[in-house]
């Protein structure tokens, strides 16, 4: 073989090695970023679950003081049931599924707000130590929800940006990686819901 033939073969081998390294590195980065989105989604679900877990205790505490507020208490219980029934697999985060999840959680927030209006009518309840502790836990949970949603959006933005950059988007498209949706503020909601007693 001629010397130039060896050079061409070496150049082709080097090119294939570099191309393989680039493909492998990009694919591994996509997997890492995708897993970060999934992990953060789990955190979002955890804080929403914490809120849902606090509600039965809150309802039972209020029930002892506000026996004739049955409709409001049942509304909270139904909203909690609906919110906990909407489960999304992190691999199937679509804008439609995320919107459905947000609507269920929003319904629960609205039901809690109505409950807090009822609580205002009962000064003895507002002074109850168990109720005050539940109130503090619920307020803390609402803050955690806001924090985890913001963090989810940041991680999702990082993933989505990487996914769409050239030439990485070629590998992303070939490998089936898809853009993930963000949490969005609901119409008329400029701030996180506040729970006040």
Digitized pLDDT (tens) for each residue of the chain, 197 residues in all:
677 888 888 889 999 999 899 889 889 999 999 899 989 988 888 888 888 888 888 887 777 766 666 777 788 888 888 888 888 887 778 888 888 888 888 888 888 888 887 777 777 776 777 777 888 888 888 889 889 989 999 999 999 999 888 988 888 888 888 888 888 766 655 455 555 54
Rounded Cα–Cα distance for residues 134 and 119 (Å)? 13
pTM value is 0.72
Domain membership of residue 102 (yes or no) is yes
Does residue 194 belong to any structural domain of this protein?
no
Helices (H), 66-94: 70-85
Residue 89, Cβ neighbours under 10 Å: how many?
9
- Domain CATH code at residue 95: 1.20.1440.20
Q: What is the pLDDT at residue 191?
A: 52
Q: Which residues lie below 8 Å from residue 14, measured CB to CB, with a gap of 6+?
A: none
Dist CA 116 CA 47 (whole Å): 20
Tell whether 185 is covered by a domain. no
Whole-angstrom distance, CA of residue 134 vs CA of residue 126: 11
Query: Is 103 inside a domain boundary?
Result: yes
* pLDDT score, position 14: 92
Residue 105 covered by a domain = yes
**Containing structural domain, residue 26:** 3-175
Query: Could you tell me if residue 38 is inside a domain?
Result: yes
Task: State the total domains in the chain.
Answer: 1
Sign of CA dihedral 88, 90, 91, 96: positive
Domain annotation covers residue 190: no
Give the containing element (helix H, strand E) for 188. none
Residue 155: predicted pLDDT: 92
- For the chain, the residue count is 197
Q: What is the pLDDT of residue 67?
A: 65
Q: Is residue 165 part of a domain?
A: yes
For residue 87, report the phi and psi dihedrals to the nearest 5 degrees.
-115, 135
């Amino acid at each position: 073989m001629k010397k130039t033939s060896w050079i061409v073969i070496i150049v082709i081998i080097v090119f294939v090695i570099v191309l393989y390294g680039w493909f492998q590195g990009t694919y591994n980065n996509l997997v890492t970023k995708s897993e970060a989105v999934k992990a953060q989604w789990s955190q979002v679900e955890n804080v929403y679950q914490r809120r849902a877990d606090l509600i039965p205790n809150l309802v039972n505490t209020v029930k002892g003081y506000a026996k004739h507020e049955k409709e409001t208490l049942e509304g909270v219980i139904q909203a909690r049931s609906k919110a906990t029934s909407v489960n999304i697999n992190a691999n199937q985060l679509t804008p439609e599924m995320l919107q459905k999840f947000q609507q269920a959680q929003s319904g629960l927030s609205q039901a809690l707000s109505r409950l807090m209006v009822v609580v205002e009518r009962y000064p003895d309840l507002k002074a109850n130590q168990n109720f005050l502790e539940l109130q503090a836990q619920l307020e803390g949970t609402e803050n955690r929800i806001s924090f985890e949603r913001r963090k989810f959006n940041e991680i999702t933005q990082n993933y989505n940006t990487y996914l769409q950059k050239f030439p990485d988007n070629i590998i992303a498209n070939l490998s089936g990686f898809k853009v993930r949706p963000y949490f969005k503020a609901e119409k008329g909601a400029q701030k996180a819901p506040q729970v006040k007693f």
